[in-house]
Structure 1
C-alpha cells in the first residue's frame, strides 16, 4: 500500500527509470535542440530576459530590491509560468482517478487546514512563509540535480556515483548565491520586512544571515567547486563517463544565479528562478507526461490536438491567476493562498512523481 509521502522523488528520477540502461542511448532526453533550449540553456536564457527587461543595481542600492519595481510584464510572464507548472501538478493529482481515489481525503483536508491556519494567524503565516521559501529553493536545485542524473544515466553511468557530489554542487550553484546575497543586506533594510506579516517573526529574531558569514560562505563555494572538479576527475579515471550535457546545465545554472546576485536584486532573482524552473518542469512534463495529461482530460481520441488542448486548459487559469497576482494588492488572505498553493505543489509533486516512478519500473 503506497503512502502519501513526498520524499525526494523528482521528475528526473522517473525519466531516469525509463532511460537508464544501454550505453548506446543518445545523450539527450527529447532532442538536441529541445534539450539545449528547454533544459540546458534555460537558466541563462532566463537571465538574459532579466538583463533585457530590468535595470541593474546601482551603487548603494539595496540588494533586496523593492516591491513594485519589477516590470509588470515580467511579473506577469513569471507568474504565468509559475502557476502553469503548479496547475500541471494539480491536474495530475486531483484529476487522476487512481491517485485521488486512494489519497483524496488527505489531498483535500491537508490544504484546507493549512490555508485556514495561515489565514487566521499572522505568526503562522510568517513561519510558513520562511519554510516555503527554503523548500522552494530545495525543490528547485533538486530539479537541476535530477536533470543531471538523467544525463548521467543516458551514458550508462552508475546512478550512485557522484550522487551527493551533485546534490551539494547544485546547492552551491543555485541556493548558496542567495544566502550570500542575504548577508549584504544592511541594517536599515531590515525595516522592509515590517511591511508584511513576516514582521511578526523578524521582531523576535532576524533570519537574515549576519555579515560575518560572507567570507565563510564564499570560501566554501570556492573550495567545494575545486573538490567537485577533482572528484569527477578521479571518477573519470576509474571509467566514469562525464556527461557534457550535465556539466553544461550546471554551468548555465551557476552562471545565471551568480551573475544575477552580482548585478540585480533578489526580486529579479525570484523572477528568473521562477522562469527557468517552471519552463524546465513544463518541458519534462511534455516529454514524459503529455499523453497521460491528455488522458486525464479525456482527450485521447484527439491525438496531438488533445495534448495541445490539455495544456491550454491548464494555461488559461494560470494566466488568470497571474493577472490577479499582478493587479490585486497583496493582502493577508492572498499571501495565505500563495503560501498554501506553493506548499501543496512541493508536497504533492514529489508524491505524484513517486507514483509515476513505481509505474515506470
Structure 2
C-alpha cells in the first residue's frame, strides 16, 4: 500500500487567517461602510491637533498611511531583498524627498502621480492574491496570468472611469494649475464633458472582455485547468465591491470602503510574510510571548505613523514631503518585492 501524499493547502496562510484578512475584507468593509453611512461616526466633525476630521476619516486615513509605511518591513526589513537593491532603498527616497521639497512643480506632479499609481497598485494587489490562490489550486504559475492581470484592472479602474467618483480622481490635476501649469487644469473638465463616452466605452469593452475571460477559462478547464474557489470568491467579491463603490457610491463612502479593505489585506500580508524576521530583529528568540510583542511593535509603529501622517498640517512642507515619498515608495517597492523572487513572495 503506497504512502499517502498530503495535498497542498489552497490557502496562503491558513483557512482562518485567509478568510479573516484576505477573502472577507471586501464584504466586511462594504458592510461597515454602509452601516456607518449617515451616522455621527462618519459625519460628525472633531478637531485633533488643530485638524478637523471625522472618526471615520481618521480611521481610514490612519490605516492608509499605516499600510503605506508598512512596505518598509518588506523592503528594508528583508535582508535578502535589501542587499539586492541598496540604491533603490537608500538613495532614491532621499532624492525623491529633495526634489519634492525643492520644487512646487515636482510636488504637484508627484501628487497626481500618487493618485493614479494608487489605482494601478490596488488592482495589482488583488491580482497578486488571485495568482497565489490559482497556483495553490494546482495550476502552473503562468497559466491565465495575463487574463487575471487585465481583469483586476478592469474591476478597479473601470468603475472609476465610468462611475460617480471619476471627477474626484481627476481633480488632482488642479494641483498642477497652482504651479503655473494651467493646461492640466483642463483635464478634469475634459473628463467630465466626455464622461458618458468613457462610461459607454468601459461598459462595452469591459463586457466583451468578461465574456472572453469566461470563455477562455472554460477552454482551459476542458484542458485540465483546476478552478480555484478561493480565487473566484476573491475576484467576484472585490469586483462587485469596486463596481458598487466607485461606480455608484459617494466619494467619501467609496474611499472609506475600498481603502479599508485594501489596507487590511496589505497589513495582514506583511505580518504573515515578515513576522519571523521582525521577531529576529527584535531578538525575541523562542520566547513564548515573542510573537505577540513583535505584532504589537509592527502594528503599533505603523499605526503611530498613520495617525501622525493623517493629522499632519500640510503647511509643514518638509514633513508633508516625507508622507508623499512614503506613498510613492510604497507603490514602487511593493511592485518589485512581489516579483523579485518567487521564494520571497
TM-score normalized by structure 2? 0.81
Structure 1, unaligned runs of 5 or more: 1-21, 57-69
Question: Does the 8 A contact of 2:68 with 2:330 survive in 1?
Answer: yes
Query: Which residue is 1:207 aligned to?
Result: 187
1:291-334 deviations in Å (ceiling 9; x for gaps): 1221122222324x222222322322333333334434433725
Match of 1:90 among 58, 64, 72: 72
Select which of 236, 253, 260 maps to 1:268.
253
Report the equivalent of 1:15: none
- Aligned partners of 2:55 and 2:27: how far apart in 1? 19
| Aligned counterparts of 1:99 and 1:26: Cα–Cα separation in 2 | 26
What residue is the counterpart of 1:77 in the other structure? 59
- The DSSP-based 3-state class of the residue aligned with 2:13 is coil
Could you tell me which runs of 5 or more consecutive residues in structure 2 were left unpaired when the two chains were aligned: 40-51
Contact 1:83 1:321 in 2 (8 A): yes
Could you tell me the TM-score, scaled by structure 1's length?
0.78
Q: Using the alignment, how far apart are the partners of 1:88 and 1:284 within structure 2?
A: 10
Inter-partner Cα distance in structure 1 for 2:165 and 2:18: 35
Shift of 1:247: 0.8
SS in 2 for 1:159: coil
* 3-state SS of 2:187 partner: coil
Q: Give the aligned partner of residue 107 of structure 1.
A: 89
Q: Structure 2 vs 1, CA of residues 184 and 296 (structure 1 numbering), >3 Å: closer, same or farther?
A: closer
Aligned to 1:54: 37
**Structure 1 residues 152 and 23, CA, compared in 2 at 3 Å: closer, same or farther?**
farther
Deviations 1:19-41 (A, max 9, x none): xxx89223222333322221112
State the shift of 1:79 in Å: 2.8
Q: Which has the higher mean CA deviation after the structures are superposed, 109-118 or 305-314? A: 305-314
Q: Which moved more, 1:169-178 or 1:101-110?
A: 101-110
Change in 2 beyond 3 A, CA 1:198/1:311: farther
SS in 2 for 1:357: coil
Equivalent-residue separation in structure 1 for 2:83 and 2:8 (angstroms): 37
> Cα RMSD (Å) of the superposition?
3.1
Could you say what secondary structure the match of 2:12 adopts? coil
> Which range moves more in the overlay, 169-178 or 76-85?
76-85
Asked if 2 retains the 8 angstrom alpha-carbon contact of 1:75 and 1:271, the reply is yes
Cα deviation digits, residues 182-235 of structure 1 (max 9, x gap): 78649xx988965x5664477212334332322112211222112111111111
1:76-97 Cα deviation digits (max 9, x unpaired) = 2223323333333223433455
Q: Is the 8 A contact 2:65 2:309 kept in 1?
A: no
More off after superposition, 145-154 vs 272-281: 272-281
Q: Of 336, 343, 346, which residue of structure 1 is paired with 2:321? A: 336
Structure ranking higher on relative contact order (CA contacts 8 Å, 6+ apart): 1
Alpha carbons 2:245, 2:258 under 8 Å: kept: no
State the distance in 2 between where 1:192 and 1:346 align: 18
2:276 corresponds to: 291
